[in-house]
Structure 1
């Protein structure tokens, strides 16, 4: 870590933790002569301040810590009670370890606090069994966390970041300017504004990743805004292709062209107004004015398109104008989705159903229902969150079993080693183990010399502890994991030597415990999903692609059927698979990439294409259901083109998992037959299917480049 802002943040955090831990430890040990309370007052700030990575400003972090305090007290109580028997402590460790790790599905703040909360149970569940000290333990822990929360607010607090609502408002302002004046818009600037909304570019504390209604709405508004900006960028690039009505001569065709372009301009003006209004509402935190204006404009726009398509043939606008209308419709529909999602995000409370209900299902769902859906949605072996929780629970449970069965002194260090060493891949764990062992060995030698030199002079250890904590907590993370472990070994040796008489054997016991924990962590990493998200990202992406194919064909069947003859397709299965794939991809991006060829697989493009499929599945049946029967030849073309796109998703899914090797299929015609009437539904289907086909072709090309690294038995990446 070499960046200036990151270095400053680490140093400030180290100072805050040192101040809080020192104040509580010295007050209880030397002021009140309560060593048990002093130990918990020390490890409380260390757990939530260092071991946890709670994101956000000082005030936000303090809020999370205060909310975590009751959970910590419960865990200490539970650990103290279950320490009576090894088997009881192990069972408790399995349950607590899984639940706290699985809490990551609730968002980055819960995920950040999880490791620190694990340590509270770990500290209490190891011998000696001392229920009579529970009051002192709870007092020390409460004091330590309250001191840390106060330091987060008062001592060099971390500055707040711009809320996600502000980022959305800025992006919508850019979109409004582009919609108001497409000719003067910069496509590169529009796409860059969209990239700033990617969650990877947003500070963790401001990412809308939780299961609550507000977070879901902000996340949906962000995706819809990115889509809106991409559509506007593409639209500004193809404006020159639209013929000018002044060059079309006089007559019905020229009048139709002029009328069509005037309708496009009017709808774009409505989009610009809506974007500005929504941006203002997001900035002030109040819902935008009454909805419906843009939707009314879309319906009028579609009525004009239908009238022109079903009127005299010589009055129909040329194909470039029809395609321009289709692009404007896509822009307007994306803006309507942004406005609806932003309204939910600002309002925050349960609302009446919003059409299409499947897309905004969370708007009228209870808060409890939203949590249940998020939790049970990840209770599957295909969820990386579930896999990580199982891996951590098994490691901690095994560590507690070994520490209790072998009666290791300071056995909680075994579980702490498992907790701090656990990575999502066995390769990452193996890379960390040598550094951890080397750091602990050096630290043990230094701690042994310290214990031999000072003997039982507690005043000397008291003088060393605070500067040692400052060095370990502020400099250790900057110097690397080996230095951090070495300095932390000195800190724990100095602290325990003040609580009870200690010899150089204390340092040796720490080395043994850390080695034991490292071996357990490696074994669990080998047993439980050793490849991390590399294999899972392929499986979830393949499942997502396989669900997209039928959705494409069903959507086309709906919009080409006789009026009223088909129902809109259900998108919930695809949306569920999209959430699992997004979680797997997020973890995959946090892990070291495999071979250079494997790194070329464009998984993000799969997520974007799936979102594109979902958007079409919702807005095409909503605004493009035909009012007249589509000619059989044109309907047959649409179904053939949809079948080609669906076959491409199946073929790419097979490439992703390595189940089979299929050559690329010959392309199907993605342009309607020349004798087809200029119906809006046919133009919109052409636009949708052509763009999907282009996206899938790029994805397939990236995967064929990685053919020799496809996951399988005995192959790289397996």
Structure 2
């Protein structure tokens, strides 16, 4: 009954057997390399580096993508592994030299994740290769043997990834974007039908669209699959997700303004159907080998809508058709977001859009190559208040101190101290505290069992036979049962390995316990003493600044259409803040989420800033600076609305900075409400074009208010 219960528990935690398959591949490679090198060749050095090379690359490296991609990453990383082994071997002659190398290499390896947080999955493995080689005995002549052992293990592991029980291809973020685009396109078609020929089914399509778009949240995406890199493709994927959310919001506003009587020739409907087709094509373009989305039809539809948009009644004394202007303005705003989606799909597919697209602030980065984008990311975070910099320095200092302590106390297995520090230390004190308890308790339990086994069983053949079983237990069963079990079984595995390399009896378990305790203490002390708040604090601070400058941009944009200076400077600051907060969001995705941060809907909160930037640029293209100058009543209305929005952005920024849930937001208004606000002003101007400008600017402000209102706890 106990075995059946345990098996059921494992299956529930690993329904696709992905963890067990990966553990089985690692078991075959690690055990095979160890047996061949230790008992076939008779080289403990080859056996040690072969086994730990397989463990570091197969268990500590968290690799993204399908099996061929993971295998390619492993083989491509070999030159870096060789360099780290060489550095560790050559610096092992002196404790301070090894610790200095640990400080530099630890920082460089950890800080490399700034350009691509998914590299953090390789960072722990890279650290282990240097750590293992940096301990006595100092044997530069053994370097070729070490390199051969690690190379054999990594190459065999790469082959096993492809040919031994390969994992099913995971659902990529691109595929999620494609599915979300299809769902949103279906909702746009249903909304167009609602405006011309109402039919049942729109609400079901709306709910389906919101469900698939909600799946694009980084919180619902594993770190290995999330588009968190600084390169153009990952940035474009994140922008596509934000654009789809904005398309849904504008579609809701359009559906809320259904005319009392269906109008078959409604211009907004024609544009909406084109937007649905383009959204669908953008989703299809995300599939491998699919042609890129063509913007020609959408651009032509937007051009026709803009050309017809200012036209008023033949009699200049008649009032303009403001309800139609409201619907047309909303449809054009929706089309702008669809265009952002389409250009983002092009960039994500590897294309470089034309100059007109890259001049837009949202896609300015697409003109630059990957190395330029990575350098910008590194440079942005070489700042005293960067959480990335803090995390890399914290880890490097902790490992260097652990290396000095291991050398000063002349510990036989000193690399266990650094391994414990690497295991316990996290990017925040909260994460470190969570990792400490299972690490210590698991080590105590594993050391107790190991000591008992060593006292009872002395024949090495028993431990040789037990090696595959302990590897499978440590990296398969232990990972599924939890950190405490994994640490205990890993301690047992190390005992089984080192009994075959250099028998030390029960003192081996004692050494393991002492080393892990020392490493855990160092990790905790450094984690508490050096910037303990991690990326969550960095994200809240950058998000607050981003929202504040977004509120500034709203006011400056309104002032521009009323005759003030263009808001180029403030929009530039919004772009700069967007880069920083986007990077912080990606780093935060890798951390344990503090309860205070869970109160904030990060996708919605950061999306309102994205809406400001893309919306302001499109708005000013159709409504140039000064288009509403000389209309005092309109100026009063717009300034009041902009001031209310600015206050709402500032309040949201304050609450985000403190980790508090959002307070009351501006009430979103539809076209009917806009009519009530605008109608008293229409007698003051005889220009239908000016009325169109007023409707569109007021509609943009109303859309921003609706975005703020969508934010929930």
Q: Which TM-score tier does this pair reach, normalised by the shorter chain? A: 0.7 to 0.9
Call closer, same or farther: CA 1:547–1:267 in 2, change over 3 Å: same
Aligned residue for 1:288, secondary structure, equals coil
On the 8 A contact 2:554/2:612 being kept in 1, the answer is yes
How far did residue 537 of structure 1 move?
A: 3.3
Match of 1:195 among 214, 220, 227: 214
Aligned residue for 1:529, secondary structure, equals coil
**1:213-612 aligned within 5 A:** 213-236=232-255, 238-240=256-258, 242-244=259-261, 262-283=266-287, 285-288=289-292, 290-308=294-312, 312-314=316-318, 316-317=320-321, 319-348=322-351, 352=355, 354-455=357-458, 457-561=459-563, 566=566, 568=568, 571-585=571-585, 588=588, 599-612=598-611
d(CA) in 2 for partners of 1:387 and 1:474? Answer: 33
Name whichever of 399-408 and 571-580 sits farther off. Answer: 571-580
Aligned residue for 2:216, secondary structure, equals coil
On the 8 A contact 1:625/1:681 being kept in 2, the answer is no
Name whichever of 275-284 and 490-499 sits farther off. Answer: 275-284
d(CA) in 2 for partners of 1:290 and 1:591? Answer: 39
How far did residue 343 of structure 1 move?
A: 1.7
Name whichever of 538-547 and 379-388 sits farther off. Answer: 379-388
Call closer, same or farther: CA 1:126–1:477 in 2, change over 3 Å: same
Q: Determine whether 1:40 maps to 2:49.
A: yes
> TM-score with structure 1 length normalisation?
0.87
| Corresponding residue of 2:6 | none
Name whichever of 490-499 and 628-637 sits farther off. Answer: 628-637
| Corresponding residue of 2:640 | 640
d(CA) in 1 for partners of 2:230 and 2:594? Answer: 32
Call closer, same or farther: CA 1:537–1:215 in 2, change over 3 Å: closer
How far did residue 350 of structure 1 move?
A: 7.8
Call closer, same or farther: CA 1:549–1:193 in 2, change over 3 Å: same
On the 8 A contact 1:20/1:147 being kept in 2, the answer is yes
| Corresponding residue of 2:692 | 680
d(CA) in 2 for partners of 1:450 and 1:578? Answer: 57
How far did residue 463 of structure 1 move?
A: 1.4
Call closer, same or farther: CA 1:488–1:525 in 2, change over 3 Å: same
d(CA) in 2 for partners of 1:17 and 1:41? Answer: 12
How far did residue 591 of structure 1 move?
A: 5.1
Task: Count the aligned residue pairs.
Answer: 680
Name whichever of 292-301 and 616-625 sits farther off. Answer: 292-301
How far did residue 46 of structure 1 move?
A: 0.7
Gaps of 5+ in 1: 247-257, 703-718
d(CA) in 1 for partners of 2:475 and 2:53? Answer: 14
How far did residue 664 of structure 1 move?
A: 9.0
**1:703-718 aligned within 5 A:** none
How far did residue 696 of structure 1 move?
A: 4.3
| Corresponding residue of 1:134 | 143
How far did residue 403 of structure 1 move?
A: 1.0
**1:73-92 aligned within 5 A:** 73-92=82-101
How far did residue 466 of structure 1 move?
A: 1.8
Gaps of 5+ in 2: 1-8, 195-200
Call closer, same or farther: CA 1:288–1:627 in 2, change over 3 Å: farther
d(CA) in 1 for partners of 2:650 and 2:313? Answer: 35
Match of 2:37 among 22, 28, 40: 28
Name whichever of 413-422 and 347-356 sits farther off. Answer: 347-356
d(CA) in 1 for partners of 2:295 and 2:73? Answer: 35
> TM-score with structure 2 length normalisation?
0.88
On the 8 A contact 1:16/1:155 being kept in 2, the answer is yes
On the 8 A contact 1:468/1:491 being kept in 2, the answer is yes
Call closer, same or farther: CA 1:122–1:7 in 2, change over 3 Å: farther
On the 8 A contact 2:117/2:586 being kept in 1, the answer is no
**1:46-85 aligned within 5 A:** 46-85=55-94
d(CA) in 2 for partners of 1:664 and 1:265? Answer: 34
Deviations 1:679-709 (A, max 9, x none): 233222222223434554676x96xxxxxxx
| Corresponding residue of 2:198 | none
Deviations 1:574-599 (A, max 9, x none): 2332343344445556655556x774
Call closer, same or farther: CA 1:672–1:87 in 2, change over 3 Å: farther
On the 8 A contact 1:351/1:364 being kept in 2, the answer is no
Deviations 1:166-204 (A, max 9, x none): 333332233333333412533212212211222333454
Call closer, same or farther: CA 1:436–1:666 in 2, change over 3 Å: closer
Deviations 1:414-453 (A, max 9, x none): 1100111122332332343232222212222222233333
Tell me how large the CA RMSD over aligned residues is. Answer: 3.1
| Corresponding residue of 1:712 | none
